Amino acid sequence: MGLTAVIIVDLLQLKIPELTGSIADGLELGTITSNDLLQIILYLLVVGFGIVFFRFIWRINIFGTSRRIEYGLRNDYFEHLESLSPSFYNKQKTGDLMAYATNDLNAIRMLVGPGVLMALDTIVLTTIVISKMIQITNTRLTLLAVIPMPVIAIASLFLGKVIRARYKKKQEAFAYMSDIVQENISGIRVVKTFVQEGFEMIRFKEVNNDNYAKNISVVKIHALIFPLAMLITGVSITIALFVGGRMTMLGQISLGDFVAFTQYIMMLIWPMIALGWFINIYSQGMASVTRFKEMLNVKTDIVDKENLCNGEIKGEINFENLNFTYPDANIKALDNINLKIEEGKHIGIIGRTGSGKTTLVNLLLRMFDAPRGSLMMDNKIIEEWPIKKLRKSIGYVPQDSFLFSDSIKNNITFGIGECSISDIEEAAKNVDVHDSIIEFEKGYETIVGERGVTLSGGQKQRISIARALILDPTILILDDAVSAVDTKTEEKILGHLKNVRKGKTTITIAHRISTVQDSDCIFVLDEGKLIESGTHEELLVGKGIYYGMVMKQQLEKSIADTE
């Protein structure tokens, strides 16, 4: 509808030179009456209203369609980002991802909206105007008037390639700058703590200067196109006035035809300017299309396999001769791990930083894929379970307790959706955070800052545990999830968990012995290897690494108590 309306507007615009030309001829020859003049003026008004109406139609439809395309692409892009695996985010920067959703999508919208409009308008209006010019004068005068105009097209094609290359660099510079800003805002407390505001300002100025230079390089080419179009159009008008005026004086064409002809020449100014704009929009848009397509073509490496299981996950886990190395890493994160976690048991995993504890969790959640056959869930290869079912069956509390900029209530119910307030409060009580929450003015409706910055570390951890606990998952994984709370609060939380998690598999990963000592079985990892396993008492008797960790932590506690 929009493209049809553009053609109708172009055809209606052709009527204006015809009518003004007939008025000029009538006045020159004295053949026009007042009634004729009034009739032509009314006709001009009808044409004017028609142009306004159909111009509104094409703006709504063409620009509206481009907005809908932008809307759809943005949804597709976000959905695509949600489907990608963690290994992708380990390599990709946030600023670059934001640039795709802002600058690149805007350039694509301009291409499929104003770009399409200008391309069609240039072709249709130029074709019909030139044909009309030939009809009312002759081919020779028309060619003389329009022959300079192809120079714009040729120059624009060359400049378009330059713009596309420079625009891609401009987008990359914007992405990098966005990433620097995002990092500084997220890490503002670190920046201030280390008094690095001055250093970061200098760093940002350098990045911003590079972004400025890349933008100016595009603007320079862009700025060259429009004066060039105006210059060529001016030359065409000069030729038309000189040659057409001479032909009128010699009686070869009428005054009305000359008036109409000059108006047609003036009508060609817009297509020539639109051509320059189109080349610019097309060059930038295609650069963004290329970038966007490359992003949408990125495939996730974690996908559902064929012949998936249909049953319910019960919670028995087996690691069999498991070896794992992270992509792009040369050091094994896990080395020949063999351990069994029985259904309904409370398991502790302990070890020094970098021993592979969190890697085990990543493999259980299928954030990364373990070698086939080395990780079993309920005696089935883990890849045989649907990813969504697997993750829905696991309540996970990571080391970094991430909270959204939302209410405490919505953060707790994030994985379950709507839930009764009594269930929310019960989950909060089980992790000893209910009393802290009701002390806030708005209670559970309190909005926490970005990443939960307005809460203490202990409050964030306990709300994160409540979020996992309210799901009542088959398997609960606490990855160093009580490290920010004191030992008394830790005892309360673990005591509540023991009651509410009876008969369900619970895996507690920790550095502190007190966190895991009441577990049914404790696995000790060191440098990616399973070194020891057994109950707290059995491991103490063995006097191995675990025993050494116990002695060290007891000594540290004794020293702290005496100070």
Domains and CATH numbers, the chain: 2-296 (1.20.1560.10), 307-393+510-563 (3.40.50.300)
Question: What is the chain's Cα-based Rg?
Answer: 36
Give Cβ neighbours of residue 292 (< 8 Å, ≥ 6 apart). Answer: 73, 77, 100, 104, 105, 108
Number of other residues whose CB lies within 10 A of the CB of residue 41: 12
Comparing CA positions, the residue from 426, 404, 427 lying closest to residue 414 is 404
- By DSSP bridging, strand 317-324 and strand 380-381 are unpaired
Tell how strand 475-479 and strand 394-397 pair up.
Answer: parallel
d(CA 341, CA 333): 20
- Rounded CA gap, 348 and 360, in Å? 12
How would you class 113 by CB atoms within 10 Å of its CB: exposed for 0-12, middle for 13-18, buried for 19 or more?
A: buried
User: If you search the block for the tokens 């990780």, which residue do you land on?
Assistant: 375
Phi, psi of 407 (to 5 degrees): -70, 160
Confidence at residue 167, expressed as pLDDT on a 0 to 100 scale: 78
Place of tokens 């920010």: 484
- The pTM of this model reads 0.74
pLDDT at 153: 66
What is the C-alpha to C-alpha distance for residues 181 and 168, in angstroms, rounded to an integer? 20
The distance from CA 227 to its chain's CA centroid, rounded to whole angstroms, is: 36
The Cα 479–Cα 474 span in angstroms is: 16
Half-sphere exposure of 18 (CA within 13 A, CB side): 11
Write out 378-411 in H/E/C secondary structure: CCEEHHHCCHHHHHHCEEEECCCCCCCCCEHHHH
Specify the pairing of strand 505-510 against strand 346-351. Answer: parallel
Paired tokens of 227: 């004066």
Q: How far apart are CA 157 and CA 165, in angstroms?
A: 13
8 A C-beta contact, residue 504 and residue 471 = no
CA distance 477 to 341: 12
Low-confidence ranges of the chain (pLDDT < 50): none
Closest CA to 121 of 13, 44, 263, 46: 13
Alpha-carbon distance 533 to 355, whole Å?
15
Write b or e for each residue in 144-176: b if 16 or more Cβ atoms lie within 10 A of its Cβ, otherwise e: bbbebbeebeebbeebbeebbebbbbbbbbbbb
CA neighbor of 138 nearest in space, from 248, 18, 253: 253
pLDDT at position 99 is 82
Q: Rounded distance, CA 466 to CA 431, Å?
A: 6
Say what the alpha-carbon torsion angle 314, 316, 322, 325 is, to the nearest 10 degrees: 40
